[in-house]
Chains A and B, each alone.
Chain A
Amino acid sequence: DAGVTQSPTHLIKTRGQQVTLRCSPKSGHDTVSWYQQALGQGPQFIFQYYEEEERQRGNFPDRFSGHQFPNYSSELNVNALLLGDSALYLCASSFPQGTLANYGYTFGSGTRLTVV
């Protein structure tokens, strides 16, 4: 059973460019969350998608946007990249009741984005 799949694994972009990261949730999961993890820090919540809608958002600017497709996969888009956007971007999925506190999330291995 495949877990959460993220692509690409590594990416280098130039400041000012735009980037799209992709996530396929674990089989049976329909909710996808995105996190940003800077070097040496814990992950920070960006937003969560359920039923193709953004359900909750963390403290990130509008340059960060997302999308969820009917097959539950998701994309994270970042516009006008800054050097400070360099980080590991993590996708986490859960099944329908999984956002309740009595369940856990499954994370992918992340996409390492470097902005130069």
Chain B
Amino acid sequence: DAKTTQPNSMESNEEEPVHLPCNHSTISGTDYIHWYRQLPSQGPEYVIHGLTSNVNNRMASLAIAEDRKSSTLILHRATLRDAAVYYCILRNNAGNMLTFGGGTRLMVKP
């Protein structure tokens, strides 16, 4: 499986935008970029995914670089409830499983 690289931790102030980066330099043409987050004492929660174009949903936006070797998850206004570990995962149709790395622990300060 192609791997992803994320910073171990990031800090943000409440109500400010947060940009969570992910590098995936060995991504293949059929890999989708998925983001999940895990709040304390919860299971992972699907956030967003994309293939080539930028994507928006009610939770976040996903910006994908033109060469697809990196992507950024954007939380437009961080709240204290957004404090979680964010995982960037590559998926293709050849495998059914999610391969989680260490993720980025986001801390939100009031």
A binds B: yes
**Nearest CB in chain A: distance from B95 CB, A:** 7
Main secondary structure on chain B at its contact with chain A? loop
Output the nearest chain A residue to B102 by Cβ-Cβ distance: A42
Choose one: B30, B34, B100, B102; the contact of A104 (CB below 8 Å): B34
B32 to A102, Cβ gap below 8 A? yes
State which residues 36-55 of B face A: CB under 8 Å. Answer: 36, 41-46, 49, 51
Given A48-B97, A99-B96, A101-B93, the answer on whether A106 and B32 have CB atoms closer than 8 Å is no
B32 to A101, Cβ gap below 8 A? yes
**Which of under 10, 10 to 19, 20 to 34, or 35 or more describes the interface residues of A?**
20 to 34
- On chain B, the residues within 8 Å of A108 by CB distance are 43
B interface residues, how many (CB within 8 angstroms)? 27
Output the nearest chain A residue to B31 by Cβ-Cβ distance: A101
- On chain B, the residues within 8 Å of A33 by CB distance are 96-97
B43 to A90, Cβ gap below 8 A? yes
B98 at the interface (CB under 8 A from A): yes
A107 to B45, Cβ gap below 8 A? yes
**Nearest CB in chain A: distance from B85 CB, A:** 8
Bound CA span A99–B91, Å: 10
A45 to B99, Cβ gap below 8 A? yes
Bound CA span A48–B59, Å: 28
Bound CA span A33–B97, Å: 8
A41 at the interface (CB under 8 A from B): yes
- On chain B, the residues within 8 Å of A39 by CB distance are none
A8 at the interface (CB under 8 A from B): no
Q: Which residues of A contact B (CB under 8 A)?
A: 4, 31, 33, 35, 41-45, 48, 55-56, 58, 90-92, 99-102, 104-110
| 5 A–B pairs (Cβ distance < 8 Å), ordered by A | A31-B96, A56-B96, A92-B98, A101-B31, A102-B32
Closest 4 A/B residue pairs (Cβ): A42-B100, A107-B43, A104-B46, A45-B97
